[in-house]
Amino acid sequence: MRTALAAILLSALPFQEAPPREAGPFRAPDLVELVTVDPSIRLDVRYATPNNLAGRAVYNEARAFLQRPAAEALVRAHRALKSRGYGILVFDGYRPWRVTKLFWDVTPPEKREFVADPAKGSKHNRGCAADLSLYELTTGREVEMPSAYDEMSERAYPDYTGGTAAARKRRDLLRVTLEREGFTVEPNEWWHFNYRDWAAYPILDIPFSEIDTLAKRSPEKREP
């Protein structure tokens, strides 16, 4: 039976549209839920609410997943930040391809540098990208950064020199910590980090509710 999420996403697209085909081979996807690896990672899954660039919820569950190696690397970064008084706040991880297509369709052409081209797929679709910020361990509150999450302006650039020195320092701390664990920041989004093995995984288009059965339908495993 089609899930509620699948129905929402299918309604936004012509039936014939589908993710791009890739030759592979790829590693078998092994998506894990971040809070099951470390419950102290905090979530603020905006795409499960109307508070996002689409103006409506595009997920029916506020959950975040990554491929296992990326999830384990993220947890190491999260724990390393503890000594600085911070933890990792996750906005998004694995993203079904149809959500990427929807974001492309609702974004004005002049702002599309901030969204992935569905014709190529996104590293989020592969389960190897995460949208992140920091929260204060003492208060649990999200910290101030040079821009808001998903803000489509120059303030979102990782090398933006405006804003407060404190906000830039926190942004740079997040970046340095993630880079030590094999992530790289997206050139125009301080919050978007890609794991080094992203090309080893296929573009996926399944809702969160079907992730537990993914292993039974995964493509051939790609050797490291």
Helices (H), the chain: 4-11, 34-37, 68-80, 97-106, 165-179
At residue 111, the 3 state secondary structure works out as helix
Annotation marks residue 136 as catalytic: no
Long-range pairs of 147-156 with CB within 8 A, sequence gap ≥ 24: 147/190, 149/46, 149/91, 149/191, 150/46, 150/52, 150/53, 150/91, 150/114, 150/191, 152/53, 152/107, 152/111, 152/114, 156/114, 156/188, 156/189, 156/190, 156/191
Q: Which residue has the tokens 């998506």?
A: 31
Active-site residue, from 72, 113, 189, 210 = 189
- Catalytically active residues, by annotation: 189
